[in-house]
Structure 1
């Protein structure tokens, strides 16, 4: 799974859609308009409230807790009928920021860019506590460190952050990013691309790395977090928008109670959680889902006091890194970009 792109053009579209969405009636989200349908502490209304949750990408083990919460009835217990949907044409961040969809899956880098462009996107939980992404290459390319990127072909999705990250970690190794041949492969499959066009790409190990293991195609993985604490950012995150937080906090609390319960189940029962994901999305490779889930489940919460917890220094650190490299037009107000307010208390 290669990370999806976000660009300046997308942000321009986001600004237009947010402006258009500001006049819509009551968070045009595919939900019923009654803000009292989702009550406190699991109380359910007579008719469940219909809401949408939009993914960032095709379903995978980053999303297992969501499907667990749906399949085991945790959302229903909160009076919610949640539809988990694929990203829309305008992008998940766009639709959530504009209020057309109440909840979505995003990334810290996307939220950071959106916030500095005036978009009211807010992260309400970190799905995974530490960054599991990095640069991967088949072992026969002999890419063991960032310095080994020199003279190699990198396959990306055309975002300026890619070259900035490569430069950042290559500088540490005393290497020159201008010696990397950067190829835009869009959404091309990693395994096809490395056999045909490129030497390495940016992946999430929990999916593409585990798939490489199952294929018997070993790879060398360079995690970006190993080079800098500022690159150990949250990816992915669960997002909503400021208007929903202000106008219907009980809905956000109900949604997060059920979602946290789903991820806690996946942490403690990886095999059963994998089965639930496969049941909900049967087109997925069952062997890959199970292996990926076993690898990822302990990493959801990792060293945090509870699943979903976010730290201000993680948000400010990555934003500082982006600003220093010209990826942001202005500095981020980190405290407004995220909140732990809606996470349930630890038992």
Structure 2
């Protein structure tokens, strides 16, 4: 009996080792530090969805959703979660190197201007004659001139105060600026951390509501991975889609996976951020029509034009340089039902 058990154990270990050797390594970068809005990647790993697709996905924290693009272009990562607008910029300047978005997650843009309700700003016209604080290089700051032109605002009448991202909310709270040029999914929770009520005491002027019909973050992969292992790309998309759809009705499992990855996160705040992402960035009318993960080509073409103008690019990338739906699961498998807990 002892000999039989030992032989069985050896056989099992060898089989497990062979399976591990057969998995394709995917080096994956998040858009920032661990956040609840990243839950789909952690769920896909914890529940074995990546492994079922023959993938060993190694997930690292990020340095910004735009930095995801440069990390992939530099060859350190095969895939990641980041901003399609950074892809557009690099597809214009380095078309042979820029990654490609293969699964759009944040159908609605997080770019916004946040102001205090007590500021007296009751319309976007009131930005004129005021000071807005922005971090250089962020999409919200760089696209403000296009926002102004689109809405007939005098950009020269708006003063921009350049500052580090971590100073925006504190300076807004202290009335040192009249508004902050932000990502709503970041700034909202920064205000909470500063014991503010972002709903009751602040107004959020969303770029998407004022003619800036942009897309935002999703799953992107390197051109090398697309060329050399399209099956791995398809498996990666299937696994992330499966997890994303499940999270819509099960935030408990999602948060367990987030905490499993990083037990130092504030689980309460990150659960709120997860729900914020689903409610305000993912569960849109367009996503309900075409399914999570896809884009509308005409809308993306308009978004590309906005970014080309805002970033002063010399070449306009084609839609298929920026996004590929080749690896999307069937429409019926991408039906997002969101039920907040």
TM interval, shorter chain, is 0.7 to 0.9
Give the alignment partner of residue 246 of structure 1, picking from 223, 227, 230: 227
**RMSD of the TM alignment (CA)?**
2.6
Distance 1:270 1:146 in 2: 35
Give the alignment partner of residue 122 of structure 2, picking from 144, 159, 176: 144
Distance 2:246 2:93 in 1: 36
Residue 199 of structure 2 is aligned to residue 220 of structure 1 = no
Instruction: Note the 1:22-61 alignment, pairs <5 A.
Output: 47-61=22-36
Residue 303 of structure 2 is aligned to residue 318 of structure 1 = yes
Change (3 A) 1:80 1:129: same
Alignment deviations for residues 249-297 of structure 1 (CA, whole Å, 9 cap, x no partner): 0111111111111111111213432343233222222221222223332
Residue 266 of structure 2 is aligned to residue 288 of structure 1 = no
Distance 1:161 1:211 in 2: 18
Q: Secondary structure of 1:182's match?
A: strand
* Kept after mapping to 2: 8 A contact 1:146/1:170: no
In structure 2, the residue matched to 1:203 is 182
Instruction: Note the 1:98-177 alignment, pairs <5 A.
Output: 98-118=74-94, 119-159=97-137, 162=140, 165-171=143-149, 173-177=151-155
Shift of 1:342: 1.2
* Kept after mapping to 2: 8 A contact 1:50/1:81: yes
Alignment deviations for residues 209-258 of structure 1 (CA, whole Å, 9 cap, x no partner): 25546834331000101111xx2222112211222111110111111111
Give the alignment partner of residue 268 of structure 1, picking from 249, 259, 277: 249
Alignment deviations for residues 128-184 of structure 1 (CA, whole Å, 9 cap, x no partner): 122233111222223332212123222222138545533333345543222222122
| TM-score, L = length of structure 2 | 0.79
Shift of 1:334: 1.7
Instruction: Note the 1:75-90 alignment, pairs <5 A.
Output: 75-87=50-62
Highest CA radius of gyration, 1 or 2?
Answer: 2
Query: Which one has the bigger helix percentage?
Result: 2
Alignment deviations for residues 34-53 of structure 1 (CA, whole Å, 9 cap, x no partner): xxxxxxxxxx6654333221
Change (3 A) 1:137 1:282: farther
Distance 1:160 1:64 in 2: 24
In structure 2, the residue matched to 1:302 is 284
| TM-score, L = length of structure 1 | 0.78
Change (3 A) 1:321 1:191: closer
In structure 2, the residue matched to 1:334 is 319
Change (3 A) 1:151 1:285: farther
- Most deviating of 172-181 and 114-123: 172-181
Distance 2:141 2:74 in 1: 30
Distance 1:68 1:294 in 2: 15
Distance 2:84 2:122 in 1: 27
Distance 2:126 2:262 in 1: 39
Distance 1:174 1:234 in 2: 22
Distance 2:61 2:50 in 1: 19
Distance 2:256 2:189 in 1: 17
Distance 2:214 2:150 in 1: 19
Distance 1:117 1:170 in 2: 25
* Kept after mapping to 2: 8 A contact 1:112/1:319: yes
Change (3 A) 1:284 1:145: farther
Distance 1:296 1:78 in 2: 26
